[in-house]
Amino acid sequence: MDVKKFRSLMPNINDMTYLNTGWSGPSPIYVVDAIKSRLELESFNGPTSPEILESGQEIMSDSKVLVSKLFNCMPEEILLTDNTTDGINLILNGLPWKPGDEIVLCDLEHPSILLPAYNLQSSKGVRLRMVSIDLRSNHNDIKQSFASSITGRTRLVMFSHIQYSTGLRMPVSAIASIAHKVGSRVLVDGAQGPGHIRLDMDALGVDFYSSPGQKWLLGPDQTGALFIRHNLIPEVQPSRIGFGFSSDFNLEGRFDAVTDSIDKFSMSTTSAPLRAGYNAAITKILEFKMSNIERRNLELSQILKDKLVSVNGVNILSPLEGSECSALTTFQVNGVSPSDGTLQLWKNDRIVIRAIESQKGMRVSTSFFNTEDEIHKLVDAISRLAAKHGS
């Protein structure tokens, strides 16, 4: 992978230091071009002329094949969604709940997990068991904490593959196997997964995995994918009804509901141009190979942590080494609020990172397209910030 050459496909980030891929990755030229040319094709040739309709359908089916390669699953297990939150909602609102059923989750989670769970608690009488995770917990501690909350009443265990708040990489397969022993389902919020670390649905052992296109894949907004293990498709009921719901119906109210195809969740018109951009994004990631990308993402974050750890006034909240690490690094600077710190880094140095209010910290995403020079520039800027506020 030639990073210099790749960066020439991203002219949009050459006048700034972009370290916020975990929120949204900048789309390279090949993504922008794919969106543009499909949009032009549709607009200039009649969006519903037969050839255009057919090629639009091909984009959708290619998309499922590409995601299945990235996830190591079957294309029939992939639903194309708008984003991670969309997929999480589809599962939470589609599983059969009884009052007293329990969901196990943890206290580092994103609102995209917390809020749909809180809603189920108030609307369906589902009980939430919140696992508390100490910032210095290792995989074994986390496994034990989940194990002590998972009981015969647990119907769903859900958590992020990589926690947005601290970058903690969760022991997914270990938790999934504990959950499966009591017959619970396992939903993983994979917002920070694809394009960041290697994925394999079989090895992870999860039932549902919801993911976006706009982050580490560098795809466009409003593109995502949800994995549903094939044998569980009949168990999840569509909570919103669209074209895929019925294979046959008449005007007297009769309809044949689709039960075992993931197409039953399909709604109606979706954007082929955006999906073409998503496909271009995944194609390039597959070409580079996820093992190379993951290695570089993590290498850069290790370089950052190794430098940051010796800056006075800085406290790193993310795991410092080992299998708990990801390419997200969250830190605090004494005397600096997260929102003010991120704003100052932008105004003074044109560095883009984000605030993580729940941890009173700031978060850096190191993606394979970033350079070591950019990391040094960031550490210098943080050191100046810490020195200014520490004196």
Nearer to ligand PLP, 187 or 351 (CB): 187
Nearer to ligand PLP, 86 or 340 (CB): 86
What CA–CA distance (Å, rounded) separates 187 from 388?
Answer: 44
Task: Dump strand ranges (E) for 141-236.
Answer: 154-160, 185-189, 208-212, 224-228
What CA–CA distance (Å, rounded) separates 342 from 363?
Answer: 9
CB of 165 to ligand PLP, least distance (A): 8
Nearer to ligand PLP, 110 or 284 (CB): 110
Using DSSP, how many helices (H) and how many strands (E) does the chain show? 12, 15
Q: H-helix or E-strand containing 56? A: helix 50-71
Report CA-CA distances (Å) from 391 to 331, 334, 380, 385, 386. 19, 10, 17, 10, 9
CB of 313 to ligand PLP, least distance (A): 27
What CA–CA distance (Å, rounded) separates 118 from 80?
Answer: 25
CB of 327 to ligand PLP, least distance (A): 13
What CA–CA distance (Å, rounded) separates 305 from 323?
Answer: 15
Nearer to ligand PLP, 192 or 332 (CB): 192
Whether residue 380 contacts residue 371, with contact meaning beta carbons closer than 8 Å, is answered with no
CB of 191 to ligand PLP, least distance (A): 3
Nearer to ligand PLP, 160 or 279 (CB): 160
CB count in 10 Å sphere of residue 347: 9
CB of 161 to ligand PLP, least distance (A): 8
- Please report, as ranges, the residues that interact with ligand PLP according to CB under 6 A: 23, 83-85, 110, 112, 160, 164, 189, 191-192, 212, 224
What CA–CA distance (Å, rounded) separates 278 from 34?
Answer: 9
Nearer to ligand PLP, 164 or 265 (CB): 164
| Three-state DSSP class for residue 386 | helix
Type of residue numbered 55: S
Nearest Cα to Cα of residue 207 among 189, 229, 233, 230: 229
CB of 339 to ligand PLP, least distance (A): 16
Nearer to ligand PLP, 85 or 93 (CB): 85
Nearer to ligand PLP, 52 or 191 (CB): 191
CB of 114 to ligand PLP, least distance (A): 10
CB of 220 to ligand PLP, least distance (A): 12
- Which alpha helices (H) appear in 150-257, and where do they start and end? 172-181, 201-204
User: Per this entry, what is the length of the chain?
Assistant: 391
